[in-house]
Structure 1
Amino acid sequence: MEMPVLVPRQRFMELNNLALSVHLGSFASEMLGWGFFEPRYWRNYLHTHSCFEVCYAFQGEGQFRVGSEMHTINSGDVFIARPGVSHEIISAEERPLGIYFWTYTLTPSMQDAAAADAPEKSQALDSLLTTFMASPCVVSNRTSSMLRTLELLTEEVAGQHPGYSHIIEGLVAKLLVDTARAAVDEATLARAEHPVSRQPDQAVAQVIERYLRDNYWRPISIRDLAAQVHLSERHTSRVFQKVMGETIMSYLTTLRLDIAAQLLLDQHLPVKEVALTVGYPDVRYFITLFRHRRGSTPAVFRQHGGTTFL
Structure 2
Amino acid sequence: MPDAHGLFPARLTEEHVQPQVVAYYFKQWQGFQMPFHTHEFAEIMYVIDGTCDVELQLSSRQINCVKLKKGEFIVLDATVPHRLLVGETGPCRMLNVEFRYVPHSGALPSILQLAMAEEVVATFLKETESYLVLRDPDEVYYVMKSLVLELDKGAGRSEMLVQLLFVQLLVRIARLREETRQGASEPSDYYVKQSMAFMQQNYDRDMQVKDIAQAVSLHPGYLQRIFKKVTGQTMMAYLTTLRMDKACMLLLETDVPIAEICDYVGIGSRQYFHMLFKAHTNRTPAEYRNSMNTHKWIVPR
TM-score range, shorter chain: 0.3 to 0.5
Q: TM-score, normalised by structure 1?
A: 0.43
Return the index of the structure with the highest Cα Rg: 2
Which of 1 and 2 has higher RCO (CA within 8 Å, sep 6+)? 1
